[in-house]
Structures are given as C-alpha cells and as structure tokens.
Amino acid sequence: MNYINLIKYGLTTYFQQEATLYNGMFLARVSEQHRDLYKVICENGEIQASVSGKLAYNASDTTNFPAVGDWVIIDRTNSSMGNAVIHHVLHRKSVFQRKAPGTSNTVQIVAANIDVIFICMSLNDNFNLRRLERYLSIAWNSLATPVIVLTKADLCHDLNIRLDEISTVNVGTDVVVCSSVDDKGYENLLSYITSEKTIAFIGSSGVGKSTLINRLMGRDVLITKDIRHKDDKGLHTTTHRQLLLLPQGGIVIDTPGMRELQLDSGNLSKSFEDIEELSTMCKYRDCSHNTEPGCAVKNAIESGELSEERFDNYKKLQREISYEGMNSRQLDQEKIKNMFGSMKEMKHTMRYVKNKKKF
C-alpha cells in the first residue's frame, strides 16, 4: 500500500499496522457521508464508495457502519470501474457519539478518530451552561481532548461575566474566545491544530462553525449565513459531515448543528469532577445527595460553592445514561423505582430526625 498521500490526512502507524491484515486491498479515510453513499480519500485522491453486503449483514447496529473520520479498507483506488466497496472499518481510537434524535435507542456516530473537539458555543442567545455540560460529558467520553470555543464575541457586552460562568463548568478544559468581525481568537485556535491532527467542530446550528473553518481554510469552502436579527439566532448551513485538509496542515471535520443532544454514554466523572470530589466527603458512602445528613454536596450548594442548577443537571444526565438501552417497560420500571426510592430516602431521613429529637 502507498501511504505517502494519506499521512497528511492523519494516517498513523496505529492504522497502518491493522491495514496490513488485508492483503490486496487498500486503505482510505471517510471524508463525507450521504446516507448509503460515502466519499473516501485514498492514495489516488477522493472517490465514492459504498459498504459491502457482508459488512452490512454483519453489522449489529449503526455504529458498525463507517462514519466521517473512519479509516476503512476498500477494494480499489479509482472509480473507472464503478464505486469502491468498503469491506472493513478499522478499530477507532476515539469516537464522538450521541443517541440518535427521536425516540429510538440507536446510537449515531458524529465523528471518529479525532484528536481535539472544538465545542462551539456563541456568546449571544445560544449561550447555555447546561448544554455545555452535556457536550463536555460526551467529549470527555470520546477519548479526544475537548476545547470550548466561544464565538461571536462582538455580540457579547458582558464577556467577563460569561467567562466567570464558564469557569464553573470547564473543569480541565481550555477556553478560546473568537469573533469573525475582528478575527479575534483565530491565532489561538491554530495552537491546537497541528499537522496530521484531526479536529472536530461540534455545536448547535448557527454558532459559527462554518465561519471558523472558512477562516482556517483561507477561503470560503463552506456556505455561511447571517444571524436572524429578530431573535439573534444563527441560521443552519451545514447539512452533512465532511472532512477537510487545512492548507497549513491538520484536518478538520465540520458537522451539522445539533438541535438535540441526548446522551448514549458520557464521562460525568470528568465533566463533573467537582461534584464527584465533593461526593467523597459525604458522611455516607452511598449518599444520594437528597436528604441524608452530613451530605457534602448539599452543604456546598447551601454555601454557594456549587450551584443547584449544575447539580440538578448532573443528576439529570446520570438518569439519562442509566436509562439508555432500556425498552419502554424497563424504562417505566426504572423511573418508578427512582421515584419511590426518593420517597423512601425522605421517610428514612424524617424517621432519623424524629428519633434524634427524642434524645
């Protein structure tokens, strides 16, 4: 196999070694995904491809199909005889995934084999700490490194207040402030984008992901639209995921805006490290942080060290992850269990207080 042209697209020895298992075939990276059709980058450039019948038949769920950023094994490197066929998806070193929108329990892979995740959030009406906590939980779970990118700083009149709010949730995560009006922050982004590294841009619709990527590309390769002035919201432009090679080196993956971000799994221990640490100081090892005496988490909320909104979101995300994969009956049973479990805890505490007053 000729790997020379693929190294600049992020090819490492990790994938080269696995590719040697497939003699007579070729290595490629998925650059775009359109339903059942893909674009892949191989040693001879970008060509169209589809999955083999065997790969589709053996797939236990949607995560076994190729996604943008995946390294795959194909049967040809030119399309003169038709589309290439994808026979294998190589093991992923990282993956950003979420529960697919809607009511199904399927999982959707947003981007694979990424090194850095730019979580983009604009400093206008899109600003939402609770949503940011969701993104951070999934990002840390992906095994890539998250970076919070705050866009449209020119529309923010209280930047220092916003940064103070961010500081309460960005445990171990860098923050970069950007503005397309005066090019503020773009140089700071470049420090995370090095040759052969893959960066995924994640965020809601209209936060300026495409504008950032166009600036990094040095030309308008992605369509952008102005915000709606009536409600200060951005307009959705990206319709599919795509991988782009930056002229200065490095690879970016643009993703459509996410109106819905349900957790399939998440690293709450990392994204809510402050709450996890407080939990170790509770009087009872199995403290639920509801009504038990000697609860360090409740004490932190009462003292103002921890916001109640952050703790409520932590519990909400915990429940969301624990419910994932259950059928409707299991889901109802678990919710009833949680409801009556809380009632039992309350009765237990009331009994404790009543008995304490007797002495």
306-316 pLDDT, tens digit each: 999 999 999 99
- Residues of each domain in the chain carrying CATH 2.40.50.140: 4-89
pTM of the model: 0.83
Instruction: For residues 321 and 267, give the distance between their C-alpha atoms in angstroms, rounded to a whole number.
Output: 10
Would the pLDDT of 252 be above 80? yes
Pick the CATH number of 95-254 from 3.40.50.300, 3.40.50.970, 3.30.565.10, 3.40.50.920: 3.40.50.300
Looking at residue 332, what is its pLDDT?
41
Looking at residue 148, what is its pLDDT?
97
Q: How far is CA 91 from CA 14, 16, 63, in A?
A: 9, 11, 12
- Residues of each domain in the chain carrying CATH 1.10.40.50: 272-358
Element (H, E) at 255: none
93-125 pLDDT, tens digit each: 999 998 877 656 788 899 999 999 999 999 988
Instruction: For residues 206 and 144, give the distance between their C-alpha atoms in angstroms, rounded to a whole number.
Output: 24
CATH class belonging to 272-358:
mainly alpha
Q: Copy the structure tokens of residue 240.
A: 């599919």
Looking at residue 218, what is its pLDDT?
85
Topology of domain 4-89 in CATH is OB fold (Dihydrolipoamide Acetyltransferase, E2P) (2.40.50)
- Residues of each domain in the chain carrying CATH 3.40.50.300: 95-254
The pLDDT confidence band at residue 54, using thresholds 50, 70 and 90, is very high
